[in-house]
Structure 1
Amino acid sequence: MQKKVLKVNPKDNIIVALTDLPAGEIVHLDGADYTVLKDTKAKHKFAAEDFENGDHIIMYGVIVGKANQPIKKGEVITTENVKHESEEVFKKTGDLGWTPPNVDKWKDKTFNGYHRADGQVGTKNVWLFFPLVFCENKNIEKLKDIFENELLPKKEVSYKNFLRSLIEEKSVEEVEDKSRNENLLDNIEVKFINHQGGCGGIRQDSELLAKLLAGYVNNPNVAGATVLSLGCQNLQVDIFQNALKEMSPNSDKEILIFEQQKIGTTDKMFQMVIKDSFEAIKRANKIERKPAPVSKLSIGLECGGSDGFSGISANPSLGIVSDIFAALGGKTILAEFPELCGVEQELMNRCVDEEKADKFLSLMKAFEKSVVDAGSGFDMNPSPGNIKDGLITDAMKSAGASKKGGTAPIVDVLDYGEYISKPGLNLLNTPGNDAECTTGLVGSGATVVLFTTGLGNPMGNPIAPVVKISSNTALINRMSDIIDVNAGTVITGEKSIQEVGEEIVDYIIELASGNVETKADQLKQDVFIPWKRGVSL
């Protein structure tokens, strides 16, 4: 039988409703009875004791808010009676011990990946087209149309054919394009990204974009790239090349760069780009999957469209995954710094040394200051959807979001655009914004991204598979076309957090070998949005 309520941590003074609770219902938990005073929807919380104005609200064992008016035992917690509050942090105060999980089940496991000369192993084999400046976006779009039309199979439902069938009053089958439906190059994907940067703004924006694009090229999921430059922009070719060389001094990937102002006419440039790129793509198509230890995987950890169950089911399941890969010698990356507000002390104490802890706190404070200077604050982070589904303060959202990082030591702290190098759990400074975060995770080397959601988000990435894990079963029943794994079975009591975490590990190995495809990839949800380091939550 499914439980009706849950206290996440013994220290907590609020209780989570796992099902809708009507006013007047008496619920039992840990030998005590609680009378629900107002209708409380599933995912929301009610007071486990009487609160006076100014009392701290505790969840996950940490401060997640402060009562701004008296709240009676059994009364629902809302944005009207509770405000954001978190513990102030100054320095690393100790070390948290860690007992690695038993990983005998996976220590001899392999996945079939794409081996690169620098020792990295990719889960995909992608030829990537991108511009150094937004002035070349239109040319990238034209190349996308040309290459996708000629090289890629027409697997997806054609809505053009559907519209044509309505116009001609025929069936879809009668108007369907009967031309090529086979992939001419079966061992390579061709992907295209564009952006709004590279010029204008400040020079630092272009330099950061150069590092991000270099990270995409250096990601082992990429075999090589075609790069378009106008010529006069801030993000000069040499800035990009230097960023790539600094990141990977011995890279032997084919990088084709075309500068329009040097070449001349658009027609001349397109003929050069198409001819040279096609020859390079054919060479990259010869690279085949070969076995590699699972320690070669780099896993990005993210949540988006979160709900009140995310920190109870899906996020802790990712924590199991993160700990397993850390114990196996793999790399995991926890990002979204605005969603680590309130748990800084725990994370600093998990850092392997004071230098890493100080860097984390420095990045957090600088980020928060930039937000405050713009007239906002981390307390403005929860979205309307978050609040509606039970995440009413940033600290509450953060305490649940941090569960994705498990309990392993933090081996490194990276700023946006820095590339991972150390096995174990890494912290990466990104906004909580889903698109900017995913873009940053992959630019820092993630070859698979795990993305938990309670409300639903279809977003993917051009070069790395993005696995969607639902926090509740209702979501996967409602939006089955975007969800890959259901962690809602934790809420219903069908599975434990450990079981769901292990299920995700097995799924990742199959995915990394090319045996399954994420829903985001099936839907071609290739989202690339760089962070310009302005205010973004």
Structure 2
Amino acid sequence: MMKTTDRQTYLRIHPKDNVLVALQDQQAGNRIFIDGQELTLNDPVPAKHKFTITDLAIGAEVYMYGVLVGKTTCFLPAGSLLTTENLKHAAEGFSQKSASYTWQAPDVSKWMQRTFRGYHRADGQVGTRNYWLVLPLVFCENRNIETLKHAFLKELGYAAPDRYQAQVRELSNLYRQGKDLQEIDLAESPVYTSQSRLFPNLDGIKFIAHDGGCGGTREDAENLCALLAGYCVNPNVAGVTVLSLGCQHAQVDMLQQKIWERDPAFAKPLFVLEQQQAASESAMLSEAILQTFKGMAEANRCERQPAKLDKLVIGVECGGSDGFSGISANPAVGYTADLIAALGGRIVLSEFPELCGVEQELINRCTDDETAERFVRLMREYAARAEAVGSGFDMNPSPGNIRDGLITDAIKSAGAAKKGGTSPVVDVLGYGQYVRKSGLTLLCTPGNDVESTTAMAGAGCTVQLFTTGLGTPTGNPVAPVVKISSNTSLATRLPDMIDLDAGPVISGEKTIEELGEEMLEYIIGLASGEYDTRAMELGQDDFIFWKRGVSL
């Protein structure tokens, strides 16, 4: 990817492209120089949006990132703004593996002897955090999960600073004193903090709630247990407390079988409490508290030890994307992914609806025909399910995506796929499966942010890199989520949400490679527990299970 300059206000991403991206707002009448020619803009073009560089007839193919991203619905003279009114989604077809692939790995010599300080597990995995996990097998137990959460967090020192409770308390006191509420400013309110941690080597106790486990299909129950089993096996988890009602589809033995499939020698503490077999709800919760506390005390004995970087398992994700995501944050994350792959680590790229139009490239990057055929099958099955209910991948872009320049799914997908870098595809997994191979793995998930991040943690990711152009607070209960802004304006506006800024790529201050290397250094510190992400500081523990209805 070329490095921009301070004077450059537009960008051609690939030589094959017949549109340019505006890096700054462009006015109608501005002169643009491309391919030795001059053209005049017919329309104002907001930053992040695209405009044509040649005359395009009705039905003409539009290319970005070197791939087909749409077809025109009317004649567009050179210098025209692309909109949802004049461009419709279109993407190249795909078939079996049709070409061999040779990868030029980046130079990683300066990281070969580097380590991070992680939690070593009996199965050889290494965690970046040491959490105790409490989860329900069915939604009927969600209230009991919340009861345990309320009982544990503040007493053990894991509750996030509560600015908003302080604000309500302050307003209540002022109201009792008869103060005029119109004159109150809460910006400088105090923050109530919990006591210091009782267990210094245990990074937290995490609670999951969900709406599955019963009332749906047996397939949903199987998939839920597979997902939860992945959380149990994830090396960021030291032990697990499970609450079961008893009569639900998602049975305890189903969860145990899924755990053993992922780790036949599973050695972590696993406490299971079933309400319909308990003397009372109170008795069950008291036993859950006692067993969990004992387990946490034992987990606190585990300390961080050095681990080579090949033990990193990194998920890559995007959400609230904009027209800059595919040229700054996503390719920078892709370069980080290549560095980790070259070091022997594992990378997981998900969101199959956002791989639309780049399937053939990924197919050809697969290391063997079997892996390629699995990807083809999963993509086609997913697309068929969507089409069967009158939907389709073309409906993936959100209103926010469209407003900020991602006006077709193929445009969005071509930029989103950059997060996976350029390394070979070593494996393709269905939803709920667990990553086992070094290198780049494709994981079938929806494009929905939380359904995807939830699945990547369940696949074993111990850190997730999440790019965004519009901003999102998304986090995960067990895998730290690093938020990377595509533009500096977002990073400046929402500093409590963003961890890293890829905006310097747009301004020309940094290259993709420079930023990718900085991200790797950030990951090493994060994985060692030297700091937390913004989402962790906010207590943003999002979890959504993907039922096999259509979700894009």
Q: CA deviation at 1:177?
A: 9.1
Find the aligned partners of 1:527 and 1:176 in 2 and give their Cα distance.
Answer: 27
2:151 matches 1:143: no
Find the aligned partners of 1:285 and 1:120 in 2 and give their Cα distance.
Answer: 18
Aligned to 2:499: 484
2:76 matches 1:62: no
Find the aligned partners of 2:148 and 2:12 in 1 and give their Cα distance.
Answer: 54
Q: CA deviation at 1:206?
A: 0.4
Does the 8 Å CA contact 1:2/1:492 hold for their aligned counterparts? no
Q: CA deviation at 1:175?
A: 10
Find the aligned partners of 1:398 and 1:175 in 2 and give their Cα distance.
Answer: 43
Q: CA-to-partner distance for each residue in 1:60-116, whole Å, 9 max, x for gaps? A: 000000111111100001111110001111211011211110001211110000000
Q: CA deviation at 1:158?
A: 3.1
Aligned to 1:261: 276
Does the 8 Å CA contact 2:488/2:504 hold for their aligned counterparts? yes
Match of 2:201 among 174, 179, 187: 187
Q: CA deviation at 1:173?
A: 13
Q: CA deviation at 1:185?
A: 1.2
SS at match of 1:275: helix
2:65 matches 1:72: no
Aligned to 1:219: 234
Q: CA-to-partner distance for each residue in 1:145-167, whole Å, 9 max, x for gaps? A: 00012112555133122211121
Letter in 2 for 1:40: V
Q: CA deviation at 1:30?
A: 4.8
Does the 8 Å CA contact 1:155/1:181 hold for their aligned counterparts? no
Does the 8 Å CA contact 2:156/2:197 hold for their aligned counterparts? yes
Matches within 5 A, 1:120-519: 120-153=125-158, 156-169=161-174, 181-188=195-202, 189-519=204-534
Find the aligned partners of 2:147 and 2:284 in 1 and give their Cα distance.
Answer: 12
Aligned to 2:98: 93
2:543 matches 1:528: yes
Q: 1:177 and 1:310, CA in 2 relative to 1: closer, same or farther beyond 3 A?
A: closer
2:126 matches 1:118: no
Aligned to 2:3: none
2:29 matches 1:24: yes
Q: CA deviation at 1:291?
A: 0.2
Find the aligned partners of 1:32 and 1:157 in 2 and give their Cα distance.
Answer: 59
Q: CA deviation at 1:400?
A: 0.4
Find the aligned partners of 1:442 and 1:509 in 2 and give their Cα distance.
Answer: 18
Q: CA deviation at 1:186?
A: 1.2
Letter in 1 for 2:170: S
Find the aligned partners of 2:189 and 2:106 in 1 and give their Cα distance.
Answer: 56
Letter in 2 for 1:77: L
| TM-score, scaled to structure 2 | 0.95
Matches within 5 A, 1:99-110: 99-110=104-115
2:18 matches 1:3: no
Match of 1:15 among 14, 20, 28: 20
Find the aligned partners of 2:528 and 2:373 in 1 and give their Cα distance.
Answer: 38
Letter in 2 for 1:152: G
Q: 1:348 and 1:271, CA in 2 relative to 1: closer, same or farther beyond 3 A?
A: same
SS at match of 1:282: helix
Find the aligned partners of 1:174 and 1:456 in 2 and give their Cα distance.
Answer: 24
Find the aligned partners of 1:271 and 1:435 in 2 and give their Cα distance.
Answer: 32
Does the 8 Å CA contact 2:354/2:412 hold for their aligned counterparts? yes
Does the 8 Å CA contact 1:326/1:423 hold for their aligned counterparts? yes
Q: 1:27 and 1:177, CA in 2 relative to 1: closer, same or farther beyond 3 A?
A: closer
Letter in 2 for 1:303: C
Q: CA deviation at 1:28?
A: 2.5
Find the aligned partners of 1:342 and 1:215 in 2 and give their Cα distance.
Answer: 30
Q: CA-to-partner distance for each residue in 1:403-437, whole Å, 9 max, x for gaps? A: 01111000000000010000000000000000000
Letter in 1 for 2:148: L
Find the aligned partners of 1:325 and 1:439 in 2 and give their Cα distance.
Answer: 22
Q: 1:258 and 1:21, CA in 2 relative to 1: closer, same or farther beyond 3 A?
A: same
Find the aligned partners of 2:353 and 2:192 in 1 and give their Cα distance.
Answer: 50
Aligned to 1:38: 43
Query: What is the identity percentage for the equivalent residue pairs of Structure 1 and Structure 2?
Result: 54
Letter in 2 for 1:185: F
| TM-score, scaled to structure 1 | 0.98
Find the aligned partners of 2:367 and 2:471 in 1 and give their Cα distance.
Answer: 35
SS at match of 2:33: strand
Find the aligned partners of 2:361 and 2:158 in 1 and give their Cα distance.
Answer: 49
Letter in 1 for 2:449: D
Q: How many residues align?
A: 537
Q: CA-to-partner distance for each residue in 1:233-289, whole Å, 9 max, x for gaps? A: 000100000000111101100000001111120111111111111011100011000
Q: 1:217 and 1:384, CA in 2 relative to 1: closer, same or farther beyond 3 A?
A: same
Q: 1:79 and 1:182, CA in 2 relative to 1: closer, same or farther beyond 3 A?
A: same
Does the 8 Å CA contact 1:334/1:428 hold for their aligned counterparts? yes
Q: 1:177 and 1:327, CA in 2 relative to 1: closer, same or farther beyond 3 A?
A: closer
Find the aligned partners of 2:189 and 2:82 in 1 and give their Cα distance.
Answer: 56
Find the aligned partners of 1:502 and 1:536 in 2 and give their Cα distance.
Answer: 34
SS at match of 1:105: helix
Find the aligned partners of 2:65 and 2:332 in 1 and give their Cα distance.
Answer: 15
Q: 1:30 and 1:481, CA in 2 relative to 1: closer, same or farther beyond 3 A?
A: farther
Spell out structure 1 runs of 4+ moving beyond 6 A. 170-179
Find the aligned partners of 1:410 and 1:216 in 2 and give their Cα distance.
Answer: 24
Find the aligned partners of 2:251 and 2:7 in 1 and give their Cα distance.
Answer: 59
